[in-house]
Structure 1
Amino acid sequence: MKPASFAHHAPLTLEEALALLARHGEEARVLAGGQSLVPTMAFRMARPAVLVDINRIAALDHVTVEGSVLRIGALARHARFETPAVAGPLGALLARVAHHIAHPPLRLRGTFCGSLAHADPASEWCATALALEARMVLARADGLREVAAEDWFQGVFSTAMAPGEMLREVVLPLPAPAWRGGFAEFARRAGDFALAMAVVGLRLEGGVVRGARIALGGIGGQPVLAREAMALLESQPPSPALLEEAAATAARHCDPQEDLHAPAEYRRELVAVMVKRALRQAVSA
């Protein structure tokens, strides 16, 4: 099929882009990488009357450390993270995640922020943003606002972004030196959508877990935190038995969906395995 007709605008500044979004409201969509939007338009599942193409706005193409945070602009491509974008365990975790996203040609075009704006339940960056306590910086013609990752996801392909807004950048806090990350996912073939994934962040001090984040993706309508497993790890030495118990706890308390790709109980078993692998990865990092 072919997309329905639309008007295409390619502004040179963020201000121009925001003015277009304000003018056209719900009829407008932002085009960055287009790896999700363009196929849905081709199948006419999405029919925006106006595309605001931001690819000429150079100010949006950045991945920079600023004080205690990493700022990721709206045009930062997935491939930008295949080698560490920042020193330390955060850069290593982002690189590990990036290599699991789709296939190399798509990673060269698709964007970090675009993935979060699209909010596919099986998106690696969505689960990662939740685990890392990301903040979404939304821009509109009359100013900026920030939304925490835990408030960003509103359901399948649904976010807290309002008409007239665009996701200008994502802000990730730089972790403490004692922080370690882990990632694991299962897909039937390399590049396929994951049936289950786990993103883990642990702060280890004196041989004890002093902070834990576990995000699950690919199992339901949006990424979720495995809060019971996180609480179980807190203030405990990360022994193999504890990691096993935490993984089982995450699986027991999650609510996986059943669809044509996998039954719910199979996904639950995958959660246990993925969480255990990600935890072991974090502890041994």
Structure 2
Amino acid sequence: MQVPETFDYERASSIDDAIALLERHGDEARLIAGGHSLLPMMKLRLAFPEVLIDINDVPDLDHIRIDGDEIAIGAMVRHAAILDSALLAEHYPIFRDAERVIADPLVRNRGTIGGSFCQADPAEDLSAVGAALGGSVVVRSSSGSRTVPMREFHEGPYETKVGDAEILTEVRFPIRNATGSAYEKVERRVGDWAVAAAGAFVQLDGDMIADAGIGLAAVGADHFIVPDAEAALRGKPAIRESFEEAAQLCHDQCSPVTDQRGPEDYKRHLARELVLRALTRATARARGEES
């Protein structure tokens, strides 16, 4: 039977209260939101915090809204709300693509975007989405808030820029014109972790690619970005040959390992094919040919 170590439980009533509890309990405390990553690790005795601080009652963390020239998503927004958001589907359909293949309704109804980002699992879908889109993460402590570029937030497997007594409060993505985005994933069964996955963002200037972003999942120890592939796309015509060049660079520069989900060469093959598909769909959406 999987039973965690004993722990104490605190329930925060506000962001400041959550931060104060983190300061009081120190390194032995962990925040809990949906719990779908932390609780299984506790049951397996891979994580054993002495104190859990529940932030489900904390206000001001459950929003999806336009703020100036950005879309702001609160850290406590559930996967199901992201899937259902017309605002995100309009500006960044990559979220809808990814949420459709994340776990099952039970997980999507409880899991949060903040939890996904802070778990920092190399195979996690929304972190690959964030890598493709860029944007920023807002982190708050008792001394105020700071903003971390999305691509600097993950420091490695299960490690982030969130420091002691800090809490991720929001993720933000710029609103851009003439853009499209898409997510492609291969999994062994519905709702499973990815064998490999790829997200892509494209901004067009006529028939040319003005900007592009690519995020990969499950093909390396980090939430893998391929700057060379993105650079190869900028200023190029938005045609299959350009996408194939970028996809090949992703194949060559990713670093998968052989495990129970598949051999290394198969994952490299998937990285190339999924990047090609994601770029093709993202471009079609930028042109208004696909929703």
- For 1:226-265, what aligned pairs fall within 5 Å after superposition? 226-265=226-265
1:90, CA displacement in angstroms?
Answer: 2.8
1:37-76 alignment, distance < 5 Å: 37-76=38-77
Alpha-carbon distance, 1:2 to partner:
1.0
How has the CA–CA distance of structure 1 residues 230 and 22 changed in structure 2, closer, same or farther, with 3 Å as cutoff? same
What is the match of residue 129 of structure 2?
A: 128
Who is 1:283 aligned against? Answer: 283
Give TM-score scaled by structure 1 length: 0.96
For residue 164 of structure 2, give the secondary structure of its aligned residue in structure 1: coil
The 8 Å contact of residues 32 and 74 in structure 1, kept in 2 or not, is answered as no
Aligned to 1:189: 189
Return the offset for 1:85. 4.3
Tell me the matched-pair count.
Answer: 284
- 187 and 23 in structure 1: CA distance in 2 versus 1, 3 angstrom threshold: same
Structure 1 residue 91 displacement after superposition: 3.8
The aligned counterpart of 2:109 is 108
> In the alignment, is the contact (CA less than 8 A) between 2:200 and 2:282 conserved in 1?
yes
Q: For residues 110 and 166 of structure 2, what CA distance do their matches in structure 1 show?
A: 22
| RMSD of aligned residue pairs (Cα, Å) | 1.4
User: Per the alignment, in what secondary structure is the counterpart of residue 82 of structure 1?
Assistant: helix
Q: What's the CA shift for 1:94?
A: 1.2
- Percent of paired sites with the same residue: 35
Q: Do the aligned partners of 1:102 and 1:191 also contact (CA within 8 Å) in 2?
A: yes
Q: After TM superposition, where is structure 1 displaced by more than 4 Å over at least 4 residues in a row?
A: none
CA distance, structure 2, for counterparts of residue 245 and residue 91 of structure 1: 24
SS, match of residue 59 in structure 1 = coil
Tell me by how many angstroms 1:146 deviates: 1.6
Spell out the pairing of 1:162-241 with structure 2 (5 A cutoff). Answer: 162-174=163-175, 176-241=176-241
The equivalent residue for 1:92 is 93
Q: 1: distance between equivalents of 2:86 and 2:9?
A: 32
Moved more, 202-211 or 159-168: 159-168
Q: TM-score, normalised by structure 2?
A: 0.94
Structure 2: unaligned runs, 5 residues or longer: 286-291
- How far off its partner does 1:242 sit? 2.1
Deviations 1:141-165 (A, max 9, x none): 2222221122111111111111211
Shift of 1:88: 6.0
* Partner Cα distance (2:135, 2:37) in 1: 22
Q: Distance in 2 between matches of 1:268 and 1:231?
A: 20
